[in-house]
Amino acid sequence: MRVDIISIFPDYFGPLELSLIGKARQTGRLDVAVHDLRTWTSDVHRTVDDTPYGGGPGMVMRPEPWGQALDAVGPGTLVVPSPVGKPFTQADAHELASLDRLIFACGRYEGIDQRVIDDAADRMPVREVSLGDYVLFGGEVAVIVIMEAIVRLLPGVLGNADSLTEESHAAGLLEAPVYTKPASWRSRDVPEILRSGDHGRIARWRRDQSLLRTASRRPDMMSVYPVDDLDKADRKT
Ligand code: 6GU
């Protein structure tokens, strides 16, 4: 997969050299290029913003540098992180992970002139995505989050492919709590059932914990969980 990131703060993306994303790049599974939007300015001040038409606070990113930048790095599927985007989900991560070319456009200030997105959409798929109902300074940190969600789904990136298989089995529910050694710590014991070696009972316990956690923490997820995905024992829980 090839990813181009356009931002006025290329230094934000240092972390993409670390850990499993860094390794995916070193092993050639992922090719990332970070571009400074100011490369595509032509005035001495390298201006990227201006005041909003219609008035109001803050500044808006001017269309010309963005148009040139997208002409230079495109085409590809354009992802624009924004608090006014559609909520980014695991399903989106899977869809984006299946693509060969992604472009991330990081807005700052009050956002990018809407014509940039509309113009790009004439030539390439565009997705405006939000990470949640809060406002960040800009799209940079959101891109790192979205990259983590995508890159761990690329073939060969997760050392343990079982992790992804388990995840897809548990889709739509929160995962059960996890424990490791020691068996007792600060007078708190690991649930006995997890040490029993009884794989059937362990699977049942985890499933129950998932359901209880989801119902108490994420009633929104529980209310859309397909009834057909509940087994007989679930219905008794
Ligand atoms: Cl994706 N971008 C920005 N700038 N703010 C956000 C966001 C994204 N998601 C929530 N707030």
C-beta separation of 105 from 82 below 8 A = no
Position 169 scores a pLDDT of 77
The answer to the question of residue 158 being in a domain is no
Q: Please check whether residues 27 and 124 belong to one and the same domain.
A: yes
Residues placed in the known binding site for S-adenosyl-L-methionine = 107, 131-136
Q: Please check whether residues 126 and 224 belong to one and the same domain.
A: no
C-alpha closest to that of 111 among 89, 88, 137: 137
Write down which residue in 151, 182, 206 finishes a domain: 151
* CA–CA dist 156, 63 (Å, integer): 39
- Give the CATH number for residue 93: 3.40.1280.10
> Ligand 1: which of 86, 104, 130, 134 to mutate, judged by most atoms within 8 Å of the beta carbon?
130
Domain that holds residue 146: 2-151
Q: Please check whether residues 141 and 54 belong to one and the same domain.
A: yes
CA-based radius of gyration for the chain? 22
- Give the CATH number for residue 205: 1.10.1270.20
The answer to the question of residue 159 being in a domain is no
Average pLDDT, consecutive stretches of 10 residues, N- to C-terminus, the chain (237 residues): 98 97 97 98 98 97 98 97 97 98 95 98 98 97 98 92 81 96 98 98 98 97 92 83
Position 162 scores a pLDDT of 79
Q: Please check whether residues 222 and 135 belong to one and the same domain.
A: no
Q: Which ligand 1 atom sits nearest the alpha carbon of residue 81?
A: 1
Q: Which ligand 1 atom sits nearest the alpha carbon of residue 136?
A: 5
Q: Which ligand 1 atom sits nearest the alpha carbon of residue 107?
A: 4
Position 31 scores a pLDDT of 98
Position 184 scores a pLDDT of 98
Q: Please check whether residues 180 and 147 belong to one and the same domain.
A: no
Q: Please check whether residues 21 and 131 belong to one and the same domain.
A: yes
CA-closest residue to ligand 1 atom 4: 138
The answer to the question of residue 161 being in a domain is no
Task: Count up the domains in the chain and report the number.
Answer: 2
**Residues with a CB atom less than 6 Å from ligand 1:** 81-83, 85, 129-132, 134-136, 138-139, 142
Cβ atoms < 10 Å from Cβ of 150 = 24
- pTM for the whole structure: 0.95
Which helix or strand (DSSP H or E) is residue 93 part of? Answer: helix 90-97
Q: Please check whether residues 35 and 137 belong to one and the same domain.
A: yes
